[in-house]
Chains A and B, each alone.
Chain A
């Protein structure tokens, strides 16, 4: 540190004597590395003691090979040295200088340092000097050599051009001969004593990065969930209690009029539990009504015409959709209707659902389903599309298309397509429909009340929003803390 102070002072002193200085020369004069000098210059410049202007120039520097010759000797000189006045056989010389012999010999010959008399070499010049080494030394010192010499060294790849930046130094607005130490920050003592008035302070560094502070952070997907929840609350939806991952097949499938042979109920698609394997049936009357609906129909339907199995309905699974909960809510609200009479209702949930899939970049075995349900006497396909459009508009997707599709428990059913801003084409973003009377009647929903619903995954729009293409970088234990820390705000516009 003492030394540093010395140079700072020295630079200021020199500047007092001269109008301007050259950093390159200065570093040679001080006998320090140019880079070190630049450190002092930056310090003085940030304190506005000096001003610098960079000057870019080209200069020749030694290559690795050049440095090597400079530190030892050139190959031709090495060869020359090995030739005694009485001469030497070429073969013998070759043995003495393996490696450098070949190039050294040919250079020494072309420079006429040696002559070859029938296989024996003799010195042509007595007391020759290592000319190449001398030239390299000059270049290293920044001295000039002749054009021809330079050309030759370049050709031999011993020197190369390099850009150097040096600085012209002049006085700055706060120039003084004496450098006064600048303080980095205020201290309680300075504040109390008022000494701050007499001190010089280092100015803020506008180019530096701030310190990496320790932070707490919320997860990106759950930030998106918060936005979705707000949208749904604004639209008058009431959140359903969906904290039940393990469900009976009854609530997940049968009560939704999903036939027991339906492929979705296959072991290939659904996680079945082995312990507890079966659930205990609930409301007997409901189970009977559902059985009848599947087997022989009702509510104007012919049913599916098969033997419904109670055992199949009791099988426990990890729910494949949150509609299992919506169905329970309908069963509960139907009871309320009996007591209080009809009132419209909107429900939503955002929670985990499970599919028997293996994990890859675009598939998860569990994801978050966003579901909206509207119970309304006047609900119809037009209002379903209207409310879906409103929902998507609020999460920033304005262009929608509806495509007929098949769901076992809704009719009519529609897939929702939105415009993908990155892929620049329609992509499926959700599913929707009006619940079938065969589902609603056993639950006790009066015939004149329609129930419509739509669902989508939370992951898909969030991936589009954050432009993520591997879902595993977003959910699960492979997520890096850095990702969560740096994840921007989530707000849908």
Chain B
């Protein structure tokens, strides 16, 4: 979950009320965010700060201005919220056809007569960064550029040009560079190097220019130095480029919603976006406030409360949402333009629920009577587990994921064609799914080198095999689980193969498998010692193996004593039981 932070003083000033630690915790808990107070050394001074964890679906709350406004309304600190005026602007932004090759969409807005201070300017920068990291998916889908409008001259152009043709002085650079040179330099920038891949291999790079060909930005990487902002900037141009038009618009709406409060007249000015190729023109931001009609029966039904239309309206107001009664059963809700998370009626019900307070809702046990039961395979394999434990074996619980070598080399094998591999593991401990329980059992044996002998371990669990199983309705994944049993015995003077064999016979008795239905047949598996091993054949089908473990395998786990092991596909037996 994304985190934002602010100094304690700044936050409570914006909230309009000071809260103690418990009050802050109660408020944020009820609202569904997390707050943490801490101290940080800033310019040699300890500064009291608060950080907030915001849910991933509320990009609009990723700045302290918007968050404090939302909380202010929630605690009823002041009635109503700031209503911004939308002013039709005259600035135009022309989109060249070439941009469709790399980053096809752009939207823009202007904030005029802004009064920022170092605190609010920092918040403005932080907000863009948080949006980039989260809603904009690390700039891949959307990226934001903000500029001092007084340093540049419209109309503006969004173009895509070969990298060597884009020459400008970028932010924090000392000289003009072509974007080819700039990229070479930024490869060493600890922060920006992570974004270069987004356009690096494109034949053309996106660029925003003013009417004098001044480079405003090279989205999604960096802005130009020429139009850079400071806390003294008066007029701001916000441009948002994207591969996802919908997200670009939402991002722009989140920004203007958070920062139009610093404009003198609470105004947001639009920009006309003209796609040159098609001649299509869009005026952005689009303040499209949807009306959603909902009714009491639904709200009371889904929340388990009993409230009136009027109460619903009041509760929605606490969440910063305006609504009107249609009659005593229905209300029409105006979805704020920046609430990108509200997709459906249920999202409105949730806001009413949060305003009502989840913990104020009466808890009831559902009246519907249902009868329960166990999944047959699990129930039977639990019986097998208990039986094996009763036979004196200690149960293991190992990971499904393991290293490639643990299902090959460790077992004295060269390949494993049942293996399902992992593409992107963070840890080299997890490279594939186990195809056998043997590796886990043997590793557990290794852990227990100082244990009293004889030692007897077992596990009944699922392995994963590659192969076509499934059905056309659900789809065919190409891998499936099998429930296996694996058990090992080891003592200082004998492997105890006859004990392992005895375990098999005992299980077969319990599973009502008669002598004529299973037999042992000579096998040649490299995990086991030649001549002291056998396949377990059930109704003509090979369902497992048992034998004395090969000394090379024992060497692999540094186990000094002879040992015998069995592995069995118990699922086959359980399905027949």
Contact = CB atoms under 8 A, between A and B. Distances in A.
Interface of A: 212, 214-219, 221-222, 226, 229, 232-248, 250-251, 261-263, 267-268, 271-283, 297, 299-306, 316, 318, 328, 344-346, 348, 352, 354, 356-359, 364-366, 374, 376-383, 385-387, 389-390, 401-406, 408, 411-414, 434, 436-438, 450, 475-482, 484-485
A430 B443 CA distance: 32
**6 nearest A-B pairs in the assembled complex, by CB-CB distance:** A382-B304, A404-B32, A282-B475, A276-B478, A344-B368, A406-B55
B138 to A, nearest CB: 10
11 contacts: A215-B394, A233-B374, A239-B372, A246-B477, A278-B478, A283-B475, A297-B343, A306-B246, A380-B301, A386-B365, A412-B354
Contacts of A485: 394
B338 to A, nearest CB: 15
Contacts of B55: 405-406
B75 to A, nearest CB: 15
Contacts of A232: 372
Contact of B397 (A222, A243, A277, A300): A222
Interface string B416-453: 00011111111101100100000010011011100110
B429 A359 contact: yes
A404 B372 contact: no
Interface string B313-331: 0000000000000000000
B375 A282 contact: no
B349 interface: yes
Given A232-B372, A356-B424, A476 B343 contact: no
- With a 10 A CB-CB cut-off, give which of A218, A303, A357 has the most chain B CB atoms: A218
Contacts of B367: 378
Contacts, number: 317
Interface string B64-82: 0000000000000000000
A405 B341 CA distance: 13
Given A243-B377, A301-B344, A481 B401 contact: no
A381 B343 contact: no
Interface residues of B, number: 106
A214 B454 CA distance: 9
B371 interface: yes
Contact of B303 (A280, A365, A406, A412): A412
B94 interface: no
A11 B98 CA distance: 112
A357 B426 contact: yes
B478 A316 contact: yes
A356 B388 CA distance: 33
B244 interface: yes
A402 B366 contact: no
B396 A477 contact: yes
Contacts of A235: 372
- With a 10 A CB-CB cut-off, give which of B401, B451, B475 has the most chain A CB atoms: B475
Contacts of B31: 404
Contact of A358 (B304, B420, B427): B427
Given A275-B421, A380-B302, A382-B305, A236 B347 contact: no
Contact of A403 (B358, B364, B427): B358
B397 A221 contact: yes
B361 A276 contact: no
B359 A402 contact: yes
Contact of A217 (B30, B371, B389): B389
A221 B396 CA distance: 10
Given A238-B371, A243-B483, A365-B399, 13 more contacts: A242-B375, A261-B244, A262-B56, A272-B424, A283-B475, A358-B429, A377-B368, A380-B301, A412-B303, A436-B344, A437-B344, A477-B444, A479-B444
Contact of A276 (B420, B444, B472): B420
Given A275-B420, A380-B304, A485-B394, A411 B346 contact: yes
Interface in B455-489: 455-457, 462, 464, 466, 471-481, 483
Interface in B148-187: none
Contacts of B385: 218, 222
B40 interface: no
A94 B375 CA distance: 92
Contacts of A303: 343
Contacts of A237: 370, 372
Contacts of A383: 304, 364-366
A274 B422 contact: yes
Contact of B390 (A216, A250, A345): A216
Contact of A402 (B341, B358, B372): B358
Contacts of B372: 232-239, 346, 348
A403 B373 contact: no
A246 B479 contact: yes
A345 B369 CA distance: 8
B400 interface: yes
A403 B389 contact: no
B392 interface: yes
Contact of A261 (B141, B391, B401): B141
A440 B81 CA distance: 35
A278 B468 CA distance: 12
B378 A218 contact: no
B475 A251 contact: yes
Contacts of B359: 401-402
Contacts of A406: 32, 55-58, 341
B347 A480 contact: no
A316 B364 contact: no
Contacts of A364: 399
Nearest to A382: B304
A207 to B, nearest CB: 23
Nearest to A284: B472
- With a 10 A CB-CB cut-off, give which of A237, A354, A356, A402 has the most chain B CB atoms: A402
A268 B133 CA distance: 14
B426 A356 contact: yes
B197 to A, nearest CB: 14
A306 to B, nearest CB: 6
A250 B470 CA distance: 14
A224 to B, nearest CB: 11
Nearest to B469: A244
Nearest to A478: B447
A450 B451 CA distance: 53
A419 B454 CA distance: 43
- With a 10 A CB-CB cut-off, give which of B359, B451, B477 has the most chain A CB atoms: B477
Nearest to A247: B477
B200 interface: no
- With a 10 A CB-CB cut-off, give which of A277, A354, A401, A403 has the most chain B CB atoms: A403
B377 A212 contact: no
A219 B395 contact: yes
A480 B448 contact: yes
Contacts of A279: 475-478
B506 to A, nearest CB: 12
A382 B444 contact: no
A216 B344 contact: no
Contacts of A328: 474
Nearest to B472: A282
A217 B385 CA distance: 10
B105 to A, nearest CB: 12
A477 to B, nearest CB: 4
Given A216-B393, A276-B477, A434 B366 contact: no
A218 B389 contact: yes
Given A218-B385, A412-B353, A241 B375 contact: yes
Contacts of A277: 423
A201 B30 CA distance: 73
Contacts of B377: 241, 243
A442 B341 CA distance: 20
A34 to B, nearest CB: 35
Contacts of B9: none
A326 B218 CA distance: 46
B420 A238 contact: no
B386 interface: yes
Given A241-B375, A283-B473, A216 B397 contact: no
